């Protein structure tokens, strides 16, 4: 009697990624005078794609969307599209607290050449769930582009409740979620009942979310370390979950310094990119640059990761 060899482990199934698996929430480079640096944006985008990013999310909060104009947002999409061509998906952040303005930004992003939209929950006003649902439906109805809904109640003050997401998944252009809700149970409820692609928006949850059927990530830390983040997914897709776990653990020190230092990720990402000689430039007020001690720590963690 013969027995067959045990089969190799298979990664958890997930929907076909609408924008790939490895996405970077890209910073928006500025000149030292504070103007939009379109040449720098193109060079940074090219580097990220060459290092393994399937897609780039522009004009999210990491991209300082609260302090860029509507015209700058469109110009950024056009410049990055020119730089990366069809090598990567471009997802444009268009979310605001105003439904009408969000629709305007969505149409402008579509015209500029974006492949998809990132739409955050309306913030500060804290609308009830039926209003949140109506907001997203109006935007999805107004454009031909697929939407990724951004669930980050710690910033917006309002959750996109799992039941709301399940209903919204019925819309043909609502295809994905950027998940920063820190509710793995709720996430699994939606994954079990929809075909939504789930992207980890919190860098420490990349592997955990992928393991329960998520799609990949939209990472801030990947601005500086795109390769190590891509390696987590590559190991998992190859069935080597132990190696995927080791690679996730290796990026923890840099994640902690960039995302849990008391400074916004935009600030720390730009500080590290600047020290690496990469396009970034200053942040716009009211944000302020990271100090020397923070930046030195970021560089040390980056160099340790690069040497691993």
> Any idea which residue has 């599209």 for tokens?
81
Q: 42 with 79: CB under 8 angstroms?
A: yes
Q: Which helix (H) or strand (E) holds 77?
A: helix 70-84
244: three-class secondary structure by DSSP? helix
Residue 178 is a catalytic residue: yes
191: three-class secondary structure by DSSP? helix
Torsion angle in degrees (nearest 10) through CA of 13, 18, 24, 27:
-150
Q: Which of 271, 281, 283, 265 is nearest to 220 (CA)?
A: 265
Q: At 297, give phi and psi (nearest 5°).
A: -65, -40
Q: Is the omega angle on the peptide bond into residue 286 within 30 degrees of 0, that is, cis?
A: yes
The C-alpha atoms of residue 278 and residue 2 are separated, in whole angstroms, by 58
209: three-class secondary structure by DSSP? helix
Query: Which parts are annotated binding residues for pyruvate?
Result: 62, 218
Q: Which of 54, 58, 108 is nearest to 86 (CA)?
A: 54
> Any idea which residue has 């209903």 for tokens?
167
Read out DSSP for 92-109?
Answer: EE---S-HHHHHHHHHHH
Residue 150 is a catalytic residue: yes
- Active-site hit among 111, 124, 150, 302: 150
> Helices 241-250 & 252-259, crossing angle to 10 degrees?
40
How many helices (H) and strands (E) the chain has is answered by 13, 8
Residues 6+ apart with CB under 8 A from 65: 59, 73, 93, 95
- Active-site hit among 73, 124, 178, 189: 178
- Active-site positions read 150, 178
């Amino acid at each position: 009697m013969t027995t067959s060899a045990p089969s190799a482990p298979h990664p958890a199934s997930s929907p076909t990624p609408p924008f790939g698996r490895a996405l970077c929430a890209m910073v928006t480079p500025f000149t030292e005078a504070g103007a939009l640096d379109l040449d720098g944006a193109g060079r940074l985008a090219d580097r990220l794609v060459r290092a393994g990013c399937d897609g780039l999310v522009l004009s999210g909060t990491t991209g300082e969307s609260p302090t860029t104009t509507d015209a700058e947002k469109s110009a950024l999409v056009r410049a990055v599209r020119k730089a990366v061509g069809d090598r990567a998906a471009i997802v444009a952040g268009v979310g605001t607290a105003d439904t009408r303005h969000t629709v305007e930004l969505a149409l402008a992003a579509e015209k500029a050449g974006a492949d998809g939209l990132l739409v955050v929950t309306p913030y500060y006003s804290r609308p009830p769930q039926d209003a949140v649902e109506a907001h997203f439906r109006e935007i999805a109805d107004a454009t031909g582009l697929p939407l990724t809904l951004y669930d980050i109640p710690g910033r917006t003050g309002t959750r996109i409740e799992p039941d709301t997401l399940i209903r919204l998944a019925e819309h043909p252009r609502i295809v994905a979620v950027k998940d920063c809700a820190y509710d793995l149970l709720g996430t699994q409820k939606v994954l079990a009942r929809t075909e939504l692609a789930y992207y980890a928006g919190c860098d420490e949850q990349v592997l955990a979310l992928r393991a329960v059927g998520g799609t990949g990530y939209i990472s801030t830390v990947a601005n500086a370390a795109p390769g190590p983040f891509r390696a987590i997914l590559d190991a998992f897709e190859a069935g080597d979950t132990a190696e995927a776990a080791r690679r996730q653990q290796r990026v923890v020190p840099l994640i902690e310094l960039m995302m849990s230092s008391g400074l916004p990720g935009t600030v720390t990402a730009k500080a590290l990119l600047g020290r690496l000689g990469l396009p970034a430039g200053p942040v716009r007020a009211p944000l302020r640059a990271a100090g020397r001690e923070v930046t030195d720590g970021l560089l040390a963690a980056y160099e340790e990761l690069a040497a691993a």
